[in-house]
Amino acid sequence: MRNLPNKVEPIKPNYHEDDAIAYLERYFDEWTKTDDWWYGDDTWDLNVFTYHQEEDYEGSEWTIAIYPLVKYDDDELLHIDTSTELDLFELKL
């Protein structure tokens, strides 16, 4: 049986709302063309998503979630800690 990796070290996020807004503005053409888009820096990640059950839905409602990064003991890579939200807001375009 394989042992699951353990969180070794949370990365202290340097997140500020203005940073997320800047990414949303810069990459507007990318995240508005998909239902689930990720981007971030070296301490936090931004997830922009939309979902609707109705096939004929043509609105523009987006949820933006900001997550911190953490390092696990299985490697040197940083991982997104989706169990912790740094920020959450919605946009209607």
How far apart are the C-alpha atoms of 72 and 13, rounded to whole Å?
A: 16
Q: Are 64 and 91 in contact (CB under 8 A)?
A: yes
Mean pLDDT within 20-34: 93
> Which one of 32-36, 46-50, 56-60 scores highest in mean pLDDT?
46-50
> Is residue 6 over pLDDT 70?
no
Q: What is the pTM of this model?
A: 0.79
Domain spans of the chain, in order of start: 7-92
pLDDT tens digits for range 54-84: 566 566 789 999 999 988 776 677 888 898 9
Say which residue the tokens 């990318």 belong to: 30
Judging by DSSP bridges, how do beta strands 61-72 and 44-49 pair with one another? antiparallel
Cα–Cα dist 47/27, whole Å: 12
% of the chain exceeding 90 in pLDDT: 46
Taking a C-beta distance cutoff of 8 angstroms, is the pair 81, 88 a contact? no
